């Protein structure tokens, strides 16, 4: 894998290989199952800098992944360690077009940030590969900090005080992927949120202070704008955010890989694969700060 510049060495011994992108790094010479506190502190600092950390060959169990993810913060109760997969509990593959889990998987193939449709947006996520298809099935990421920096000054001024609503129910319906939620294998997380969150189009990172563009597929309905103008603006911002290869990275999974990303400054999406092949990923969602990540209309 290509890297930008020389491999860096942390004070605690692990290697940092920056990607040839505006964000992201591969971390080597580290064992996530046995991670001393001083090494984790250095790792956390690197995470804030790079936004995405990639750990090849870790092979974490469910309990090990949860333990690692908890070091970044509390976990979302419903999503402490869930399989995102086209494999049913009995081992057979999902193939029904109205399968709710497949509707969510297909929806996840569009750019988004996690839990923007909830009262509190997620801080980040730990994601690991257990079974990967023979080809495709990647996960792509986009640097929303660089996207904001690259905006024309006129656009930046226009959106600085604007906000948009975020809804999973809306984004799934827009794609024709409505989920039943009740009497379904899908747990219904994020569907039918009563008070649809309102979030700024520009987000200041609560730990670094760096501004980032904040849109994604769940965003719609900018107050003060017509429906047509709101959709056009959100669509243009989403396209701009992923329109420069410098700030987009697509990870080709190998079984055992572990990734942790900062959901406050990156968008991501799943990439297509042949659904006749199994893909089993383990997702642990890190809960956001209840004040810093609260929606505007749900702030304590």
Q: What is the pLDDT of residues 135-179, one digit of tens each?
A: 999 999 999 999 999 999 999 999 999 999 999 999 999 999 988
pLDDT for 97 beyond 90: no
Average of per-residue pLDDT values in the chain:
94
Q: What is residue 1's predicted lDDT score, i.e. its pLDDT?
A: 32
Q: Which two tokens stand for residue 49?
A: 């800098």
Contact between 122 and 288 (Cβ < 8 Å): yes
Q: What is the mean pLDDT of residues 289-296?
A: 96
Q: What is the mean pLDDT of residues 109-117?
A: 98
Q: What is residue 16's predicted lDDT score, i.e. its pLDDT?
A: 97
DSSP of 254-268: -TT-EEEEETTTEEE
Share of the chain above pLDDT 90, in %: 89
Is 299 within a domain? no
**Structural domain of 155:** 8-290
Q: What is the mean pLDDT of residues 31-59?
A: 97
pLDDT for 34 beyond 50: yes
Strand segments, DSSP code E, in the chain are 8-9, 15-18, 25-28, 52-55, 82-85, 124-131, 139-143, 163-166, 198-200, 202-204, 211-213, 219-220, 248-251, 258-262, 266-270, 280-286
Q: What is the mean pLDDT of residues 198-222?
A: 98
Phi and psi at 70, nearest 5°, equal -65, -20
pLDDT for 75 beyond 80: yes
Is 297 within a domain? no
Is 189 within a domain? yes
Is 262 within a domain? yes
Question: b/e map of 128-148 (b: 16 or more CB within 10 Å)?
Answer: bbbbbbeeebbbbbbbbbbbb
Q: What is residue 95's predicted lDDT score, i.e. its pLDDT?
A: 84
Contact between 171 and 177 (Cβ < 8 Å): no
Token pair 């692990």 in the structure block, residue: 14
Is 1 within a domain? no
Domain count, the chain: 1
Q: In what order do the strands lie in the sheet with 82-85?
A: 8-9, 15-18, 25-28, 52-55, 258-262, 124-131, 280-286, 82-85
What is this structure's pTM? 0.95
**H or E stretch including 111?**
none
Q: What is residue 187's predicted lDDT score, i.e. its pLDDT?
A: 82
pLDDT for 260 beyond 60: yes
The CATH number given to whatever domain includes residue 230 is 3.60.130.10
Q: Which two tokens stand for residue 52?
A: 């995405």
Is 300 within a domain? no
Q: What is residue 183's predicted lDDT score, i.e. its pLDDT?
A: 74
Q: What is the mean pLDDT of residues 20-48?
A: 97
For the chain, the residue count is: 300
């Amino acid at each position: 894998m290509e890297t930008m510049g020389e491999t860096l060495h942390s004070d605690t011994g692990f290697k940092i290989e920056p990607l040839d992108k505006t964000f992201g790094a591969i971390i080597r010479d580290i064992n996530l199952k046995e991670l001393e506190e001083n090494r984790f502190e250095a790792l956390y600092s690197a995470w804030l800098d790079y936004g995405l950390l990639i750990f090849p060959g870790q092979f974490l169990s469910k309990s090990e992944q949860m333990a690692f993810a908890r070091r970044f913060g509390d976990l979302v109760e419903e999503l402490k360690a869930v399989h995102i997969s086209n494999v049913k509990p009995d081992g057979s593959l999902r193939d029904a077009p109205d399968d709710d889990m497949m509707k969510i998987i297909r929806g996840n193939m569009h750019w988004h940030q996690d839990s923007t449709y909830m009262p509190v947006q997620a801080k980040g996520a730990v994601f690991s590969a257990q079974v990967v298809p023979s080809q495709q099935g990647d996960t792509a990421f986009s640097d929303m900090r660089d996207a904001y920096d690259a905006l024309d000054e006129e656009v930046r001024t226009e959106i600085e005080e604007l906000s948009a609503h975020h809804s999973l129910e809306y984004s799934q319906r827009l794609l024709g992927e409505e989920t039943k939620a009740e009497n379904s294998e899908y747990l219904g997380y994020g569907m039918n949120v009563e008070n649809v969150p309102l979030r700024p189009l520009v987000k200041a990172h609560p730990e670094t202070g760096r501004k980032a563009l904040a849109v994604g597929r769940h965003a719609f309905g900018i107050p003060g704008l017509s429906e047509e103008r709101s959709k056009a603006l959100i669509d243009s911002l989403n396209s701009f955010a992923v329109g420069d290869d410098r700030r987009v990275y697509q990870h080709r999974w190998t079984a055992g890989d572990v990734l942790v990303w900062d959901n406050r400054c990156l968008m991501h999406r799943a990439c297509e694969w042949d659904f006749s092949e199994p893909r089993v990923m383990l997702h642990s969602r890190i809960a956001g700060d209840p004040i810093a990540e609260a929606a505007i209309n749900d702030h304590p």
